[in-house]
């Protein structure tokens, strides 16, 4: 089965920009989606294929993709953006989903 690789953690100063990356073979065939996960809360979709923001998600969140790498960028990070972020895509088999290991974003 496919795997998606994310860096474990990143920190960003309040108001600055941070980019989270997600790499995997499945991304050369399928686009990624991104989820924000705070402790004790349901995952929240923040970016869906192909780099679209759901209604209600601030425009400081943006997505991009190149080859087998997807990226989520937060431009002007806010304190409330501190959370774990997970990428996901359809598996190369077509009937499964694979999640990245998650990146913990700390806003300083």
Partner 1 sequence: VELVESGGGLIQPGGSLRLSCAGSGFLVSSFDMSWVRQAPGKGLEWISVMYSGGDTYFADSVKGRFTISRDQSKNTQFLQMNNLKVEDTAVYFCARRRGGSDWYFDLWGRGTLVTVSS
H helix runs in the chain, sequence order: none
Q: How far is CA 59 from CA 45, 74, 92, in A?
A: 14, 9, 30
Give the residue, chosen from 7, 48, 68, 75, that forms a contact with partner 1 under the rule CB under 8 A. 48
**Residue span binding partner 1 (CB under 8 A) among the ranges 9-17, 31-39, 56-64, 72-80:** 31-39
**Residue span binding partner 1 (CB under 8 A) among the ranges 13-21, 56-64, 71-79, 99-107:** 99-107
88 part of the interface to partner 1, by CB under 8 A = yes
Q: How far is CA 11 from CA 18, 70, 84, 103, in A?
A: 8, 19, 11, 10
25 part of the interface to partner 1, by CB under 8 A = no
66 part of the interface to partner 1, by CB under 8 A = no
Q: Is 62 helix (H, G, I), strand (E, B) or coil?
A: strand
Residue closer to partner 1, measured from CB, 4 or 74: 4
Give the residue, chosen from 30, 63, 72, 105, that forms a contact with partner 1 under the rule CB under 8 A. 30
- Contacts (Cβ under 8 Å, ≥6 apart) of 75: 17, 60, 62
> Which uninterrupted H or E stretch holds 38?
none
Give the binding site for partner 1 (CB under 8 A).
1, 30-31, 33, 35, 37, 41-45, 48-50, 54, 84, 86, 88-90, 95-102
């Amino acid at each position: 089965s496919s795997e998606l690789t994310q860096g474990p953690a990143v920190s960003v100063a309040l108001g600055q920009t941070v980019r989270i990356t997600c790499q995997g073979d499945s991304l050369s065939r399928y686009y990624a989606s991104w989820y924000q996960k705070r402790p004790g809360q349901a995952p929240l979709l923040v970016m869906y294929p192909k780099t679209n923001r759901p209604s209600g998600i601030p425009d400081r969140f943006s997505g991009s993709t190149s080859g087998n790498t997807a990226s989520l960028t937060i431009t002007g990070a806010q304190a409330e953006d501190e959370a774990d972020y997970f990428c996901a895509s359809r598996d190369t088999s077509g009937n499964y989903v694979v999640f990245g290991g998650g990146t913990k974003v700390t806003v300083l």
